Amino acid sequence: MSTTTLAQPFDTTTLDEVRKTGVLIVNLGTPDSPSVPDVRKYLRQFLMDERVIDIPYLNRWFLINLIIAPFRAPKSAKVYQQLWKPDGSPLKTYGYSVKDKLQKVLGNDYVVELAMRYQNPSIEKALTALRKECLTEIIVVPFFPQYASASTGSVYKEVMRVVKDWEVLPEIRFVNRFLEHPKFIKGFVDLGKKYMAQHDYDHFVFSYHGLPERQITKGDVTGSFCQFGSCCDKLDHRNQHCYRAQCFETTRLLVKGMGIPEGKYTTCFQSRLGKNPWIKPYTDEVIPELTKKGVKSALAFSPAFVADCLETTIEVGEEYKEMFEKEGGVHWQLVESLNDSDIWVECLEDIIKNPAA
């Protein structure tokens, strides 16, 4: 070794000065286009997930590939065409906007990547990009306010599938839920108050994506606490991971923030599939019950979604509006999702930087 080499100064940069954190934000997914083939491809990947339709593999394969995907894809494609914007799917458009805004507020010590659980950009592609950044930690933030095996749990499983063969694994932190985060609640409360200032509503509907009852029962580790009733009146250590209980807790927090009195709001569940019982009450059964009681105007929220999509814009915003008016209602208003709002980005920043909060 030459004396010239020995004379070179040592790099005194410390680990703290070069630490970088990866942030993987993940939403459910969207077809690549509203064409029938792309919608069919999306439905197959989504519904073949054993955490989404939790029946034996062969039964699931025949159900999805021979019945649901062939017959549902053309109908769903027409709905996606209504939803599609010039720059693409709203779910993906808002996702990239949030990614860019979040990267800006987090700064150079963080690397943010967007992924979709189904279709593109894939979790595998996003994690491959993060792997090249020599990261100290990766924080995975599924965009689901309430935990469910079929959503957050599926993201966890896919992330672990991708990284299980990595020789070097950085620390990985998963964000389980964020329904109680003050800025998440404030975001929806502020939106609700905006509409409340414009109109006097008779009733407030909080419609969440539904799940089969069997998935809730399977998640009850006590084996006896879940009764699909008053057990959801309070969120505690026994039902803290129950999706239904978390949805009712979300409603309670939003109602408190907006000052809505008891008796003027309903928590319900939408988007059920098949004949097996799903968690109740069903939104499409709640609506006629409300109009029979004389409700003429309703403000509707979809607090299981952080970005507008087919289930919010079309199902709640248009289909339920049509149903409400057909049953005698006069004014139905959907409250938009947080989308790429500043308070949503602030909420994410806080979740990432202050995990204890």
Strand order across the 297-301 sheet: 265-270, 203-209, 297-301, 331-334
- Which residues are 111's β-sheet partners? 22
Q: How far apart are CA 339 and CA 334, in angstroms?
A: 14
Give the up-direction half-sphere exposure of residue 323: CA atoms within 13 A in the CB hemisphere: 16
Q: Concatenated DSSP letters for 50-67?
A: TTTS-S-HHHHHHHIIII
List all residues 6 or more positions away from 113 whose beta carbon is below 8 Å from its beta carbon: 22, 23, 24, 25, 99, 121, 126, 127, 129, 130
Tokens in use for 4?
């010239």
Question: DSSP letter string over 278-321?
Answer: BSSSBHHHHHHHHHHTT--EEEEE-TT-SS--IIIIIIIIIIHH
Is residue 33 classed exposed, middle or buried when 0-12, 13-18 and 19+ CB atoms within 10 A define those classes? middle
311 annotated binding-site participant: yes
Distance, in Å, from the CA atom of 249 to the CA atom of 151, rounded to the nearest integer, reads 18
The C-alpha atoms of residue 312 and residue 326 are separated, in whole angstroms, by: 19
Residue type, 215: Q
Q: Which two tokens stand for residue 322?
A: 């049509």
Give CA–CA dist 243/241, Å, rounded: 6
Longest dimension (CA), the chain: 92
Percent helix, strand, coil in the chain (nearest 5)?
A: 45, 15, 40
> Is the Cα dihedral 50, 56, 58, 62 positive or negative?
negative
Q: Is 213 annotated as a binding residue?
A: no
Task: Output the known binding site for Fe(2+).
Answer: 209, 311
Task: Output the known binding site.
Answer: 209, 311
